[in-house]
Amino acid sequence: MDVLTALNPGAEYSTKQLQFILGAWIVGSAFERKDKISLQNGDVSEDDYTKQSIYALLYSLYSSMGETRSETGATYQLTFNTWGYTWPESWGPCPNSPSDPQRFGKNAYTGLYQFDAVKEYVKARDGRVSVVELGCGTGAGAHHVCSHVLPKCTYEAVDMQQAAIATCRRKFVPELGGRLVATRADATRVAIPDATADFLAVCETHVTEMAGRTTPEDRRFFENARRILKPGGYLVWGNAIPDSTWQPCFDLLKDIGMKQIEVRDVTAEAVKARDEDAGRVDAYVEQCLDRFYGFRIPVLGEKRRAEARLALYNFYRNPGTNLYENMRNGTDSYKVVLFQKPA
């Protein structure tokens, strides 16, 4: 069993199933011809994983872990699958609590709506705006926006992963009195009617990952985003991606008729967030590894434990990993961008 490629985005795996899946992955290491996870920096080559499988594992894992403890002892359920950033000083006081273990993810979602043009648009409609998010994960950000950022909005949150959408429906949808809808779909094909959203939100969605170019999936993703937006509506998008990919994305967006309004670089704040978040990430990863019995198997279990720890650290861009270094040395940059569909 190769957990990097074999899991199903249409499934939500129970703890019992995860024990079995991880057990099979651990035993399978005896027959593996090459190590797919670097033991230096946790890197996994693009050819050795699929996002369908990785996120199927992660969202089932988050749900199975339930409440965990941060490094300071605060209890929380991990739902923000977001690197995020520290709140830039020039944006004014940080709206999210400094002791919240998921504050960087909350900052990233709040930050999508910090542009003056966005604030004016929302004010002109007395806050009654509609949002569609593509790649919402568990809907933690959708819940944060509906509760604290746009308290009068309606919101449709879309992700390809069943385990994430199931978490959203259990944990966040019931609290919001019909304002939040969670939809499982491929964001490049989701059947939302044309010209219905005031805002199309994209927060660290796993697209636009290829250095220096866009892919056919990226084009379909943005064409669908444009189609869903009302004329005059805004694409609000934040992510850390290869620095060389931003301009090809901007060119693609202009090519499909979107207008660039503003681009903000928050890479320094994103690195700072990873530094400040390292203790919480360490604590979370150890609790995950302790939960699954296979990692206690001598030799094979210990080897996979080391690989899983490093792969998770890299995924979270923890200091010392490949993805962290990429952000520190400028290979990757975190930007928050605003595009408008002309009226």
Ligand X SMILES: C[S@@+](CC[C@H](N)C(=O)[O-])C[C@H]1O[C@@H](n2cnc3c(N)ncnc32)[C@H](O)[C@@H]1O
- Residue closer to ligand X (CB basis): 234 or 315: 315
Tokens of 133: 């998010």
Are 65 and 15 in contact, with CB atoms under 8 Å apart? Answer: no
Residue 206 CB, nearest approach to ligand X (Å): 4
Give me the numbers of helices (H) and strands (E) for the chain, helices first please: 11, 9
Residue 188 CB, nearest approach to ligand X (Å): 5
Measured distance CA(319)–CA(277) in Å, rounded: 9
Residue 207 CB, nearest approach to ligand X (Å): 5
Tokens of 140: 């933690």
Tokens of 324: 């962290």
- Residue closer to ligand X (CB basis): 141 or 301: 141
Residue 334 CB, nearest approach to ligand X (Å): 13
End-to-end CA distance of the chain: 51
- Residue closer to ligand X (CB basis): 22 or 136: 136
Residue 205 CB, nearest approach to ligand X (Å): 4
- Residue closer to ligand X (CB basis): 114 or 205: 205
Are 308 and 289 in contact, with CB atoms under 8 Å apart? Answer: yes
Integer angstrom CA distances of residue 290 from 19, 65, 198, 222 = 11, 11, 44, 40
Residue 84 CB, nearest approach to ligand X (Å): 8
Binding site for ligand X (CB under 6 A): 51, 55, 80-82, 105, 135-137, 140-141, 159-161, 164, 186-188, 203-207
Measured distance CA(153)–CA(122) in Å, rounded: 9
Tokens of 59: 């969202």
Residue nearest to ligand X (CB): 137
Are 141 and 80 in contact, with CB atoms under 8 Å apart? Answer: yes
Tokens of 246: 């931003």
- Residue closer to ligand X (CB basis): 8 or 293: 8
